[in-house]
């Protein structure tokens, strides 16, 4: 029996999941790694630690099933997007910690470029907005702030990659320096209609082209693994950014189908087919995936702090010991007690795009308890996604009637029901919430002939449906105070 091995390299942990022919996970291994905060608003990862953690979980999953490399039909990779690594081509060593997608150190640089009038040009070419979220200004910061980095880059001695590129480089011991269209489309440097790195944007951000990886489709055999720690000869056959991979994993492969991943952040994405929809309300047009010559586009809204707000209550305020305890605590009170939590811990994403917003809790009284804070935090996740749903409806011209959900926070029944209530939408939760890894597995399986596209549509299994049951008047009141709270949290930092 052969298996598909999915590498799921996320913001807070590295995972490996093995799938059988029925797309069922047969082995799972996961390992957290450090979050590094050098300054307020700065977030970094040790790229070497990410690689070692990924090696560890691959070995663990394969050992659990007593597998050899010959038992793996293909490897699919999905990854935290926009996070930037620069490394030396000769040694394979990073020149600095990876700068994470949540990092805000380049917010002022983005403001400068906006003020200079470059955002319309960038949006037309990339589908993105000018924000520190994306890769380009992170690359520029490393080139300008790490000793000798720019000189080495101009001599062709350095390589840039998002995390997928870094993993493939290591898996092949430097033989492959590649990315796929979905990850390239998140850098602010890739023209998503011409399907190539954009010379004008490279000049704008002062980035040498020699840094860049080759861009491939999302589902093809790129080459074999060559690393002795995990085994040689396994075909690396798919790459997709985490949210695009989740869209594919949810089998939202028809135009108009939508999913939301509730992870560290919350990411709402709708398949727009072969058409690039240009948002008039500050959402993102992006490439979902490319299979063969066919490119599928999507419209996306990104919430920076989703499940991370629960992690913060756990680790920062020590409100509970485990994130899973949040639901029971929040359910111990009937409502939020008038408390609204705007979790702008790293600014606000879509549709506000306010790098200077900061976290704020409003409505606290002497009667406020830990339970009210927990409930307000869970509700904040749903409020932010509701803003994206309303905005996406305006851009697409029709309401989204069903939302497929996944991610760790999607296990939380209280949050999911609240989402259905305030958004007045039908929510479908599948049996398998790890659809990010599943999407990478599907894409790899298609590339190596493990599955056919028509077979995949038979594999979707919905576990539970949620529908709205809150009175309209109550929903309107909740949204009124949420909007009021967001307005007061915006533009706080100077």
pLDDT band at 163 (very low <50, low <70, confident <90, very high): very high
**Predicted local confidence at residue 432, as pLDDT:** 80
Residue 188 near residue 134 (C-beta atoms within 8 A)? yes
pLDDT mean over 124-132: 92
pLDDT mean over 445-457: 90
Residue 54 near residue 65 (C-beta atoms within 8 A)? no
Give the whole-angstrom CA distance, residue 28 versus residue 22: 16
The 10s digit of each residue's pLDDT in 256-311 is 889 999 988 899 999 999 988 888 888 999 999 999 999 999 999 989 899 999 99
The 10s digit of each residue's pLDDT in 325-356 is 899 999 999 999 999 999 999 889 888 988 88
Q: Which residue has the higher pLDDT, 414 or 469?
A: 414
Q: What is the pTM of this model?
A: 0.87
The 10s digit of each residue's pLDDT in 200-209 is 999 999 999 9
pLDDT band at 454 (very low <50, low <70, confident <90, very high): confident
Is 494's pLDDT higher than 90? no
Q: Which domains does the chain have, with CATH numbers?
A: 3-243 (3.30.420.40)
**Predicted local confidence at residue 399, as pLDDT:** 81
Least confidently predicted of 157-161, 207-211, 313-317, 358-362 = 313-317
φ, ψ at 415 (rounded to 5°) = -65, -45
List the structure tokens of 179: 């990315």
Give the whole-angstrom CA distance, residue 493 versus residue 355: 8
Is 401's pLDDT higher than 80? yes
**Predicted local confidence at residue 115, as pLDDT:** 95
**Beta pairing, strands 98-99 & 196-197:** unpaired
In the beta sheet, which residues pair with residue 179? 215
| Sequence-ordered list of residues with C-beta below 8 angstroms from that of 457, at least 6 positions apart, any chain | 251, 253
By residue count, the chain amounts to: 494
What secondary structure, in 3-state letters, does the chain show? CCEEEEEEECCCEEEEEEECCCCCEEEEEEEECCCECCCCCCCEECHHHHHHHHHHHHHHHHHHCCCCHHHEEEEEEEECCCCEEEEECCCCCECCCEECCCCCCCHHHHHHHHHCCCHHHHHHHHCCCCCCCCCHHHHHHHHHHCCCHHHHHHCCCEEEECHHHHHHHHHCCCCCCEEEHHHHCCCCCEECCCCEECHHHHHHCCCCHHHCCEEECCEEEEEECCCCCCCCCCEEEEEEEHHHHHHHHCCCCCCCCEEEEECCCEEEEEEEECCCCCCCCCCEEEEEEEECCEEEEEEEEEECCCCHHHHHHHHCCCCCCCCCHHHHHHHCCCCCCCCEEECCECEECCCCCECCCCCEEECCCCCCCHHHHHHHHHHHHHHHHHHHHHHHHHHHCCCCCEEEEECHHHHCHHHHHHHHHHHCCEEEEECCCCHHHHHHHHHHHHHHCCCCHHHHCCCCCEEEEECCCCCHHHHHHHHHHHHHHHHHHCCCCC
**Predicted local confidence at residue 398, as pLDDT:** 79
Q: Which residue has the higher pLDDT, 361 or 281?
A: 361
pLDDT mean over 178-190: 97
Which one, of 275, 254, 468, 300, lies nearest residue 392 by Cα? 300
**Predicted local confidence at residue 397, as pLDDT:** 82
**Predicted local confidence at residue 396, as pLDDT:** 85
- The mean pLDDT value of the chain amounts to 93
Residue 191 near residue 173 (C-beta atoms within 8 A)? no
């Amino acid at each position: 029996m052969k298996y598909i091995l999915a590498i799921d390299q996320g913001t807070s942990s590295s995972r490996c999941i093995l799938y059988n022919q029925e797309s069922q996970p047969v082995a799972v291994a996961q390992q957290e790694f450090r979050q590094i905060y050098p300054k307020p608003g700065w977030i970094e990862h040790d790229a070497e630690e990410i690689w070692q953690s990924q090696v560890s979980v691959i070995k663990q999953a394969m050992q659990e099933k007593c597998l050899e490399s010959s038992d793996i039909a293909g490897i699919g990779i999905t990854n935290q997007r926009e996070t930037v690594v620069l490394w030396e081509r000769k040694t394979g060593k990073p020149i600095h910690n990876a700068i994470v997608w949540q990092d805000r150190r380049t917010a002022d640089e983005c403001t400068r470029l906006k003020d200079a009038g470059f955002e319309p040009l960038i949006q037309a070419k990339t589908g993105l907005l000018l924000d520190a979220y994306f890769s380009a200004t992170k690359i520029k910061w490393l080139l300008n702030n790490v000793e000798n980095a720019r000189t080495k880059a101009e001599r062709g001695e350095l390589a840039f990659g998002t995390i997928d590129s870094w993993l493939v480089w290591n898996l092949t011991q430097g033989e492959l320096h590649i990315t796929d269209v979905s990850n390239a489309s998140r850098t602010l440097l890739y023209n998503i209609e011409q399907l190539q790195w954009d010379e004008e944007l490279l000049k704008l951000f002062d980035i040498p082209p020699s840094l860049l990886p080759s861009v491939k489709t999302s589902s093809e055999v790129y080459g074999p693994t060559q690393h002795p720690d995990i085994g040689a000869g396994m075909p690396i056959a798919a790459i997709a950014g985490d949210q695009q991979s989740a869209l594919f994993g949810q089998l939202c492969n028809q135009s108009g189908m939508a999913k939301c991943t509730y992870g560290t952040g919350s990411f709402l994405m709708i398949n727009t087919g072969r058409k690039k929809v240009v948002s008039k309300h500050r959402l993102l047009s992006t490439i979902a995936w490319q299979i063969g010559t066919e490119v599928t586009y999507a419209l996306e809204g990104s919430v920076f702090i989703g499940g991370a707000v629960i992690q913060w209550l756990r680790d920062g305020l020590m409100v509970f010991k485990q994130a899973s305890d949040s639901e029971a605590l929040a359910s111990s009170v009937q409502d939020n007690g008038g408390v609204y939590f705007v979790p702008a811990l790293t600014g606000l994403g879509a549709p506000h795009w306010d790098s200077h917003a900061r976290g704020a809790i409003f409505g606290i009284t002497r009667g406020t308890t830990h339970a009210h804070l927990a409930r307000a935090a869970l509700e904040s996740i749903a409020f932010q996604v509701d803003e994206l749903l309303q905005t996406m409806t305006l851009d697409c011209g029709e309401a989204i009637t069903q939302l497929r959900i996944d991610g760790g926070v999607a296990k939380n029944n209280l949050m999911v029901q609240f989402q259905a209530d305030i958004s007045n939408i039908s929510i479908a939760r599948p049996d398998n919430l790890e659809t990010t890894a599943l999407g990478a597995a599907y894409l790899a399986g298609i590339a190596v002939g493990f599955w056919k596209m028509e077979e995949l549509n038979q594999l979707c299994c919905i576990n539970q449906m949620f529908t709205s049951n809150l009175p309209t008047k109550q929903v309107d009141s909740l949204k009124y105070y949420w909007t009021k709270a967001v307005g007061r949290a915006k533009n706080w930092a100077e």
